[in-house]
Each structure stands twice: as C-alpha cells, then as structure tokens.
Structure 1
C-alpha cells in the first residue's frame, strides 16, 4: 500500500513560488540592478569627466534665452530647440529633442559670452545608452518597457515571498536571520548572503521597484495616485496653447520668452537653482518656465505657462503646475523619479540606492547557487543540510 502523503506547509509552496519566480525574472533583475548601479552617480561622474558642463559664475549680464537659442541653432542647424536651461556654475544647455525624426542633442553655451562649449549627440552618450537599456532593454519602448516592468513586478513578489521565507520559526533561529556567518563554508556564506542581506535591502529596494513600476505601468501609476489622493483620479498632463487671436494686441521690443525670463531674474536675482525656459517653436505654443530650487532633484520644480502673445499666465490642473498648488498626492507623484534613483535623500540616498541595487543584482546569482546546491544534496543525501 502507498503511504498517505503529508500536507505540505504553506512555506513549502511559497518557497516553490519564490524559486520559479526567481528563475523566470532573475536575468532581468540582475540586469536592472547592475545598470541601476551605473546610473546612481551619473550626474557626479559627468561633472568630473565632462568639464564643458561647468562654468565659473561671472559678474556679467546673462545672454537672454532667444539669443542663446540663435547661437545654438547655428551650431546645430535644421533642428528645433526644446528648452534653454540656466544654472549658476554651469554652462547653459540648449536642448534639442524630437520624436519624429528622432534626435536628442545638447548644445552647451557660455551664457556670458555666447561661446559654444560643446555640441553633444546624446544618443552616443554612455549614460544615455545605459538609460535606454535600463528603461527599454534597447528595444522599442512598447516592447522593452513592458518586459522590464513585468520583471520588476515579479521582483516585488519575490521580495514579499522572500520576507515570508526569511521569517524565523522561533527565537533560537532569530539570530542567524540577522547575521552572515562569514567563517563558515562558502555554501553557508552564500545562503546567509542571500537571506540576510536580502532582508536588509528589502526595505529599501521595494521603493526603487515600486517607483519603477509607476514609470512603467500606467494602471499602477494611476492606482498609486488614487490611493495617495484619497480616491481622486490623476489629471493627465496636457500641452498648453497660446491664443493666436491675440497676436496683434502685444507690441514688445524684445521676445515674449526673454521678457518673462527677465521678470524671473528681477524677481529673484540671487536664485541659485536652475531655470528652464521653453521658447515656443510656433505661434500656437505657450512659453513654459520651470524654476527648480534644488537641481539635484526634480520634484520641487515650479512650472508656469504663459501665452506668448498676451503674456497672460495659463493655469493648469495637472501635477506639473505651480508647486504651491500641488496636493500631497501630486508631490508624491512628482517625487517618483527622485525616489527611484535615491536623490530624494541627497548623496546619502544615492549611496544607499547604489548598494541596494548591487545587492539586488546579486540575489538571482546567490539564489541559483542555493538551488544548485540543494539539487546536489538530493543526489547525495550524505551531504549535511544547511541549517
């Protein structure tokens, strides 16, 4: 007669789910972790290795945005400028970005003299290439992004199931759940590394993973906003337009964009953040000004829109408007990218995000080694089981 099989405990089935989810998404998780490490200090590395980005503050008048655009247009003809960014201690960046035809250039210009410091094709930039891999796996966005975001979702489930598996059965087992036994054999060290360090990074990397899902899945992004706003729907970003019927009403000696830019400088002459000016490319477009008091992050930016013909401000209802008008949910929504890269907590946050990503990248490797070791034990029962 056959023996009656015992019912398997819940942790057994969770362990099976954890194993197969890990084998399914392991390569993608490892890839995302490694590329995330590379991107953690992107800005700091660029500032050191690309000296044309930096420019000493001088006691001279700044050239207006339309003049800098004209200078950049000569250095990069037949392209449409997207924005002009001023920041003390940095060369002005005139950004050229377009979807069809696709291109992305930055022209670095000395805002005091008009000298072109560098014309950079961002599609050839190392960090840009890594970003495209991290976001899209170097595939068309409609294909690559769902693949990587789905892998991130699986990774979130792995973190949750891993935490359940990590949870000690009793007080005696608690100590070994928090420390790596470094003087043990390598298999035990690998086991502890996977479990102990996996536990510690779970509380950090879960925010990195969830913020990645916000960027990758619209349904998840809207759900997070719905929860954080107490049941309100996310207002989608929409482009603002100027009233073309008011074209003849305004007579200016300078361009509308320069006029508004100058008003910002007059209003706050000691401003130390970044000022981003979007010069309208046609008569329908509006003028957008983004004033960011902390250029190391993005969420505090104050976005304002103006009619280029009347200079009247255009009010918006989406999250990317005046900072003082944003709700708690809007602020959380704006913080998402800064949370993802760790910059929300400054340099310390980036360091934490770097090591968390590095450990996350190692989890599939240590997990596979544990799995291979257990398969060998089944073939050789004499080998002592890891406790």
Structure 2
C-alpha cells in the first residue's frame, strides 16, 4: 500500500505537469491519423487517367518543375501508377518544402504547392516540434512522451484491482452513475484499454525523439549490435565521368522502370546536388506504408551500384532489427496494420487526450472534498472550544 501511495503521488504530479502537452499531442495525433486518406479524397490533382504514351524521363520532369520555381533545384521526382508525377524541392529548412505535380505524359504542371502553408504539414510541425526550432521543440516533445510512458505504467499499477470484487468495476463503465463516478470510470477504465495501444505510439515516438532510446531498441532487437548511423553514399571523385547518351538518372530510371512497372507501387529518383553525391533510387511496393522501401545508390559517373550498411539500403539485405527500426513510423501512425490500425491509433490518441482532462477533474474534486472535510473539522473544533469556554464561564 505504501508503494501504491508513492506511485499515486508520482502519477498525480507528472500528470499535472505534463497534462497540457499530452492533451496537445493527443489531439494533433487524432488529426494526423487519417492524413493520407483525407488528402487522397480531397486532392484530385494527384490522380491521373491511364495513358499508353511513354512517360517523360526524370530529367525532363525536373526541368519542367524547376521552371515553375526559378532559383530552386529539384530534390527528387516520384512516379506512381495512376498518379501524376511529384517533384520535391527542399529549401534552407528541410521541414518546409515545395511540391510540383506534373503530368508525366504531357508535361503539364497541375499544381505548385508550398508545404509551409499546408494544413497537415503545419499540424505535423506542431506535433513534432511545437512550432519551435527543432533543437528546442523536439526535446520538449520527447521528454513529454517519456513522462507519458511513466504515466501509462504508473496508471496501470494504480488500476490493478485489490480483489475479485474490485476487478469487476475495473473493466466496465457505470454510465448511469453520478458524473463524478462516470468521470472516474472514463479515466480508469478507458485508460486501461487505451494503454495497450498508446504504449506502442509512445515508444515509437521515443525512438524518433531520443537517439539513446533508438540505439537501445536497435541493440536489444539485434541481439547486442550497434546501429549504423545514416551516412551519404558518395560517388568516386577520382574517376572521370563517363559520357552517356542520356543523363545518368535517366539511364538508371530506364534500366529499372520495367521492374517497377511490373510490381506497382511507387518509384523515386533522387538527383545529386553536387559531383560527390550518388543517385538514389527508391522503390516502395506498398504505398500505404514506408518500411518496405528498397533504397539503392549509384555512382553518378560510372552508374556502378554503391552498397551501404545503414538502415536505408536494400530491403532484401535488411536484418530483423533494421526492419523493426524501418517500421517505427508506420507503427506510430498505425499504418502497419492498415485501416484498422489507423482507427485504433485515432481512438487511442483521442483517449490519451482525454486523460489529462478527466484526471484533472478527479484531482480537483478530491481537493475540494479534502478542503470541505478540513473546514468541517475546524468548525467542529471551534464549536467545541466555544462550548467548553462557555461552560467554564457559567
């Protein structure tokens, strides 16, 4: 009982100190749960009627897109069956960028989108950084997420029933009771059910928020191996560039286009920004998730493939630990389990957002009750003293 009392105090003060942040992360998490579905339904310029014409090459689409944004250089072009090509431009702040949608058959520009004004992108920046500089906002969000994990564990300890009689009350809501009881059940009963989904959301959030946590997860899942940090695959600067009839990225794209078209999914070509960088090709067979993406790097001078040992290389060579780390974002948003997973994440985020509210109401109710009880005791003491003093006078 003494341990449970200490856990209760820890749960209370951590909850009060982090409540607003947990509420904010829960609400923004709800908004982002169905981002992909909402964008697909509301942005018709993404879609493309099938055509039997030849697709424009990456360099051709790049030239068309760059004409729309003078002075900016395209980072990549993405092809997807049934979709218009998307050219991505990054500026000085990688979190804010431009997207140019181009018809890959005709070259018509359909949409130029400033992502710094995009609704979901603004919400994401709040969810990740609280709209602060990343070096300030990310540690705050990560620390709040760590506190939330402690709250989940301590809440489960406090929820644990003392006996069989109490166990029945821990699994069901008593909606016909007074509002204080209903609020208590909303916090405890729904909190219990929410915990089993929210713990995955929180842990995957910690993987993105703390390097030490990410490395620890990889070390455990790999059986004691250290995670290789991402490093750029560089072209050989000592080799003289070979002249090709087409541009290097077009040659590679043509070479791998048949495989991509045969399997479906999406195919990206990343352009090198200088003579040292390699050309990156990324093929994702499942456009609903990211973790299966096959990343391949090629020397821009010789077109020889460059092998990498970090997480983001060939999917066929990824270890179990690599795949777990790749899967982290898809677990965080529920996409790894498809639409049912996203629904679970949405509900868990909604309930997580409600926990600080219901918890605060429980605390305020108990505080008022405690003050009322203390006041009643003081009044009784004063009455007793007055009665005693009056009897002495008589």
Corresponding position: 1:369 with 2:361: yes
Report what 1:52 is aligned to: 45
Q: 2:344 aligns with which of 349, 352, 357?
A: 352
Q: Which whole-Å deviations, capped at 9, do the CAs of 1:87-107 have from their partners, x for residues lacking one?
A: 112111100013369851000
Q: Distance in 1 between matches of 2:54 and 2:101?
A: 18
Once superposed, which parts of structure 1, at least 4 consecutive aligned residues long, lie more than 2 Å away? 98-103, 244-248, 266-271, 379-382
Name the structure 2 match of 1:332.
324
Bigger Rg, structure 1 or 2: 2
Distance 1:60 1:108, change over 3 A: same
Matched, 1:288 2:280: yes
SS class of match (1:94): strand
TM-score, scaled to structure 1: 0.94
Which residue of the partner structure matches residue 384 of structure 2? none
Alignment: residue pair count = 374
Match of 2:116 in 1: 123
The 5 Å alignment of 1:167-186 reads: 167-186=160-179
- Separation in 2, partners of 1:90, 1:52: 9
Query: Structure 2 length normalisation: TM-score?
Result: 0.93
RMSD: 1.4
User: Equivalents in 1 of 2:236, 2:245: separation in Å?
Assistant: 20
The Cα shift of 1:10 comes to 1.5
Cα separation, 1, equivalents of 2:183 and 2:96: 46
Match of 2:296 in 1: 304
Cα distance change, pair 102–194 in 1 and its aligned pair in 2 (3 A) = closer
Q: Which residue number in structure 2 is paired with residue 256 of structure 1?
A: 248
**Structure 1 equivalent of residue 269 of structure 2:** 277
C-alpha distance in 2 between matches for 1:141 and 1:175: 46
CA distance in 2 between counterparts of 1:102 and 1:145 reads 13
Q: 1:165 aligns with which of 130, 135, 158?
A: 158
Which residue of the other structure, out of 231, 238, 254, is the alignment partner of 2:231? 238
Please name the residue that 2:80 is paired with: 87
2:308 pairs with 1:316: yes
Question: Structure 1 residue 279: deviation in Å?
Answer: 1.6
Alignment of 1:78 onto 2:71: yes
| Whole-Å separation in 1 of the counterparts to 2:96 and 2:312 | 25
Give, in whole Å, the separation in 1 of the partners of 2:94 and 2:81.
33
Instruction: Show the 5 A alignment for 1:186-197.
Output: 186-197=179-190
Distance 2:327 2:258 in 1: 29
User: Pick from 57, 63, 71: which aligns with 1:64?
Assistant: 57
Deviates more, 1:233-242 or 1:52-61: 52-61
For residue 21 of structure 2, what is the aligned residue in structure 1? 28
Which stretch shows the higher mean deviation, 45-54 or 167-176?
A: 45-54
CA contact (8 A) 2:45 2:111 kept: yes
Deviation per CA, 1:276-332: give whole Å up to 9, x if none.
110222222110001000011100000000001111000000010000100000000
Residues 90-126 of structure 1: per-residue CA shift (max 9 Å, x gap): 1111000133698510001111110001010000101
Q: Are residues 268 and 92 of structure 1, via their aligned partners in 2, closer, same or farther at CA, if it must alter by over 3 Å?
A: closer
Contact 1:96 1:103 in 2 (8 A): no
